[in-house]
């Protein structure tokens, strides 16, 4: 197992190298120039050229890439062209809201979706099943920003229960303010995951419920609850966990929109602002960071398989 983990971790290095090359090339092939954005409306073309030179953007692309990779090898993700702050510092400033929003979303989604999907599978074809599937289709179909505005309208503007926007750290401001600020973003972002996980749970559990060992369990006189929890859900867990892992990739996209709608100072907002301003070091650094997190999460999910299914060994 340890050898497997070390191998997987070692494999991240070439993967990150490919990602780095891809991101760098993609950004430089895209139109737009941070020097022109910095120079603003008053600038002359000469001003823009001088700023490009100052930022090192007039160097050949190979030199720029080499400089960046050399910095990366020393653990330096670069410095924001606009704010002059190190990308690592910007990530450190923004990581907490995004991580906690992702965590609350995943926890809430799993807590709601797995029982919902299981219930739908158990009552397959019933009104409950149809309702769950209707919710799933709806959850997939409603854009995150529309749902966000609707929730703000109901819970913030009309009922005045929850704030419209912002983020409060649980470590700095306490649990109450944290929960009041994170509730609506979590609900907004969770809907699509609940839809996704509920559907997958339903499909997996239905499949497992048709297995021989389930029939055997029922024949032995075990209660339906026991059959469901001990035999069906446990054996259906592997595909469900896989979907949760895939969902984390979706989460990164969802976070960008959710953080904008709720004005949460997280990584999603950071990447969006950087793209609009063509702040290359931030975009490059963040995509590398997201890739790294994604690779590690996939490794973690692969490892959880061994706990969920003892037949899986690495």
Q: Is 67 in the site for another protein (CB under 8 A)?
A: no
How far apart are CB 174 and another protein at their closest, in Å?
6
Nearer to another protein, 228 or 267 (CB): 267
Binder among 19, 38, 114, 198 for another protein (CB under 8 A) = 38
Binder among 27, 162, 238, 246 for another protein (CB under 8 A) = 162
Please count the residues of this chain forming the interface with another protein, following the rule CB under 8 A. 60
Q: Is 222 in the site for another protein (CB under 8 A)?
A: no
Nearer to another protein, 276 or 312 (CB): 276
Q: Which of 298, 273, 255 lies closest to 103 in space, CA to CA?
A: 255
Stretch that binds another protein, among 30-38, 112-120, 195-203, 298-306 (CB under 8 A): 30-38
How many CB atoms lie under 10 A from the CB of residue 246?
Answer: 14
How far apart are CB 81 and another protein at their closest, in Å?
9
CA distances in angstroms from 132 to 135, 162, 226, 251, 281, listed in the order given? 5, 27, 22, 21, 44
Question: For every residue of 31-71, which 3-state class applies, written as one string?
Answer: CCCHHHHHHCCCCCHHHHHHHHHHHCCCCCHHHHHHHHHHH
What is the C-alpha to C-alpha distance for residues 28 and 168, in angstroms, rounded to an integer?
A: 37
Nearer to another protein, 145 or 213 (CB): 145
| Binding characters for another protein, 163-192, by CB under 8 A (x = yes) | xxxx------xxxxx-xx------------
Q: Is 212 in the site for another protein (CB under 8 A)?
A: no
Nearer to another protein, 168 or 202 (CB): 168
DSSP 279: -
What is the C-alpha to C-alpha distance for residues 227 and 4, in angstroms, rounded to an integer?
A: 34
Which residues 99-158 are close enough to bind another protein by CB under 8 A?
149, 152, 156-157
Q: Which value, in Å, is the radius of gyration of the alpha carbons in the chain?
A: 24
**Residues with Cβ within 8 Å of residue 163, at least 6 apart in sequence:** 156, 180, 181
Q: What is the DSSP string of 290-301?
A: HHHHHHHHHHHH
How far apart are CB 53 and another protein at their closest, in Å?
8
Q: Kindly state the helix (H) or strand (E) to which residue 314 belongs, with its residue range.
A: none
Burial class (CB in 10 A: 0-12, 13-18, 19+), 43: middle
Residues in contact with another protein by CB under 8 A are: 31-34, 36-46, 48-51, 54, 80, 82-85, 90, 93-94, 149, 152, 156-157, 159-166, 173-177, 179-180, 260-263, 265, 269-270, 272-273, 276-279
């Amino acid at each position: 197992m340890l050898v497997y983990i070390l191998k997987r971790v070692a494999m991240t290095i070439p993967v990150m190298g490919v990602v780095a090359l891809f991101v760098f090339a993609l950004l430089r092939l895209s139109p737009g120039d941070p020097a022109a954005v910095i120079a603003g409306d008053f600038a002359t073309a000469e001003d823009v050229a001088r700023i490009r030179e100052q930022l090192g953007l007039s160097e050949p692309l190979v030199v720029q890439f080499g400089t960046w990779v050399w910095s990366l090898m020393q653990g330096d993700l670069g410095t924001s062209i606009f704010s002059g702050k190190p990308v690592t510092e910007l990530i450190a400033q923004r990581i907490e809201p995004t991580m906690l929003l992702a965590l609350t979303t995943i926890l809430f989604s799993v807590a709601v979706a797995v029982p919902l999907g299981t219930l739908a599978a158990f009552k397959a074809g019933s009104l409950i099943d149809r309702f769950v599937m209707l919710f799933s289709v709806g959850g997939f179909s409603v854009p995150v920003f529309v749902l966000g505005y609707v929730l703000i309208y109901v819970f913030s503007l009309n009922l005045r229960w929850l704030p419209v926007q912002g983020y409060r750290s649980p470590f700095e401001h306490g649990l109450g303010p944290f929960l009041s600020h994170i509730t609506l973003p979590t609900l907004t972002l969770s809907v699509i995951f609940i839809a996704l996980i509920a559907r997958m749970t339903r499909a997996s559990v239905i499949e497992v419920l048709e297995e021989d060992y389930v029939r055997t369990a029922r024949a032995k006189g075990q209660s339906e609850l026991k059959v469901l929890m001990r035999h069906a859900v446990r054996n259906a867990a592997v595909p469900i966990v896989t979907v949760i892992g895939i969902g984390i990739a979706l989460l990164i996209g969802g976070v960008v929109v959710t953080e904008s709608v709720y004005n949460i100072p997280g990584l999603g907002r950071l990447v969006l602002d950087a793209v609009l301003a063509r702040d290359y070091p931030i975009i490059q650094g963040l995509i590398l960071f997201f890739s790294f997190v994604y690779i590690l999460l996939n490794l973690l999910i692969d490892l959880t398989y061994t706990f969920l299914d003892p037949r899986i060994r690495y």
